[in-house]
Amino acid sequence: IELTQNYLPNCHHIEGIEYGAEDITVLENGLAFLSTGLKYPGLPSYSDDPGKIYTLNLLDSKMKIKAMNIKGDFDKDSFNPHGISLYTDDKDGAVYLFVVNHPQGKSQVEIFRFIEDENALQYIKTIKHELLHNVNDIVAVGTESFYATNDHYFTNGILKFVEPFLSLPWCDVVYYSPQTVQVVAGGFLLANGINISPDRRHLYVADILKHKIVVLEIQKNTVLSHVKEVDVGSLCDNIEVDRESGDLWLGCHPNGLKCVFHDPNDPPGSEVIRIENILSEKPRVTQLYSDDGSVIVASSVATQYGGKLLIGTVYQKALICDLKL
């Protein structure tokens, strides 16, 4: 497909992001967290350095990223961050960052506490479980509990590579807490981004190969009911949810094969899609940005704050634009 350009005003690359910002999420005060440097089997990676988490203050006109120092007994050399999620504890206001990590290609979830005055992360614990075998993204719902997506069924490298081409609906969503770990939804071709509605009653899951966002209602933590699927017409990756409006913001891949077989002379494009009123009879799906890969390659996440749109990618740059809604 030829991608028509649909640009926004005043876009510029974020200085210092060269090797992807695969997932981005923003605190209520406008501090964005960027998961960078992902090395993912089957996708290009242009740096051998360990991954890093950066912060970016979206209210600061300088738009300078700051690397977060990780404190505690944590192996930074094998850090390979993928999906991220923030959780604020109502009891004491403490902020926790949950990070999907793939050291040596494995899958585990790291929990950190955010130390604001040092721009640091205090390592708390690592969670590994046989049901968390190919974790892509995560949404935290407590200080030690979360929902996670598995984007493959197989863990063997060759089987993993061919799996998406076989159209096997074997990917799932897992609920984890210290008391309970179980699969709570299945039947996904490739479950990717996951997030939660502002009232914490609905989960949204990107089934990237079906070009759909799946809406699930949380009956109890371990019981979800299928509400609907919304067609987005693109391979949408991560999902960010606007706190006030409840709108979904999606970083999408208009051409999936170009992502996998990355040709620098014919790079994959980027697309940002917004879904308004997703729970209504008529959700509104709008493309708000698109590029053929000349400005930004393989967008995987988009989030807006204070009239700015921040776009991250799997393995390339990050872009910030003015948003005129």
Binding-site residue ranges for Ca(2+): 22-23, 84, 136-137, 192, 237-238
Angstrom distance (rounded) from CA 69 to CA 118: 8
Angstrom distance (rounded) from CA 230 to CA 228: 7
- In three-state secondary structure terms, 168 is coil
- In contact, 314 and 267? CB cutoff 8 Å: no
- In three-state secondary structure terms, 162 is helix
Active-site hit among 82, 102, 253, 262: 82
Q: Largest alpha-carbon pair distance within the chain?
A: 52
- In contact, 118 and 69? CB cutoff 8 Å: yes
Q: Is 102 a catalytic residue?
A: no
* Burial of 234 (C-beta count, 10 Å sphere; 0-12/13-18/19+): buried
- In contact, 285 and 232? CB cutoff 8 Å: yes
Angstrom distance (rounded) from CA 190 to CA 304: 26
- In contact, 83 and 138? CB cutoff 8 Å: yes
For residue 252, the tally of other CB atoms under 10 A from its CB is 28
Q: Residue 110 has which token pair? A: 């790291």
Cα distances (angstroms) measured from residue 3 to each of 6, 192, 236? 9, 23, 15
Please provide the DSSP assignment of 190-220 as one string: SEEEEEE-TTS-EEEEEEGGGTEEEEEEEEE
User: Which parts are annotated binding residues?
Assistant: 22-23, 84, 136-137, 192, 237-238
Report, as residue numbers or ranges, the catalytic residues.
Answer: 82
